[in-house]
Amino acid sequence: MTIELSRGGGGQRRVVLSCDAAGCPVRLEPPAAEQWRSDADARSRARDQAAGWTRNPDRDSDYCPGHAEFSTRPPVNVVFTLPTATIRNQVGDPLNRDEYAVQLRIRLAERSLTGGEHRMLTAAEADVVARLLDELAGVYRGEKLGALARELSTLLTTAPMGATDRRANR
C-alpha cells in the first residue's frame, strides 16, 4: 500500500492499495481521506473501504480479492509437512523430509557400525555427488534434509591429510 499526499487546494490524502502477491498488478484507490488523518488512520480507513481486500499483519501485506487466501494464517495446531519429491512409503505417499532425514542419519550410523562392504567413489564421482548434494542443501536450506546434504557434501570434498581441497577447483 502506498500513501500519496495530494498537492493543491483539496487537502485530501490519497491512499492506493496495491496487491502484494508476486506479479499482481491490481491496484485500488478508495475515496480519499481527510488531510488531518494520520498515515495509519488513512491506511486503516482505506482498507475498511476496499471490499474483498484482505491483510496479513505478520507480513505487513495487502491482497486483492483474487489473492485473498495469501493473507490467511494456518491454524496454530497445524503441523506443516514437508513432502519428499520422489521418496514414497509403502502406500505410495510422500515421506516428510524431516523424518526422512532422520531415517537417513540412522542408516548412516548403522552402516558405519557394521562396516558393511562398500565401493569407493572415484574423485570425479565424489565431486559430482558433492555438487548434487550442495544443490540439494541449497534447495532445502534451513531444513534437516538440507543440513544432512551439506554435511555429506563436506565429507565428500574434505581432502585427506596432505592433499588439496577439491572444492577449490569448483
Low-confidence ranges of the chain (pLDDT < 70): 1-11, 73-80, 111-117, 159-170
pLDDT computed for residue 167 by the predictor: 45
pLDDT computed for residue 115 by the predictor: 63
pLDDT computed for residue 162 by the predictor: 43
pLDDT computed for residue 78 by the predictor: 61
Alpha helices in 1-62 (DSSP H): 39-49
pLDDT computed for residue 152 by the predictor: 93
In one letter, which amino acid is 36?
A: W
pTM greater than the 0.75 cutoff? no
Report the C-alpha gap between 28 and 116 in whole angstroms.
66
> 157: Cβ–Cβ under 8 A, 6 or more apart, which residues?
126, 127, 130, 165, 166, 167
pLDDT computed for residue 163 by the predictor: 47
DSSP H/E element including 127: helix 123-139
pLDDT computed for residue 133 by the predictor: 93
Report the C-alpha gap between 86 and 109 in whole angstroms.
23
Q: Domain residue spans in the chain?
A: 2-71, 83-169
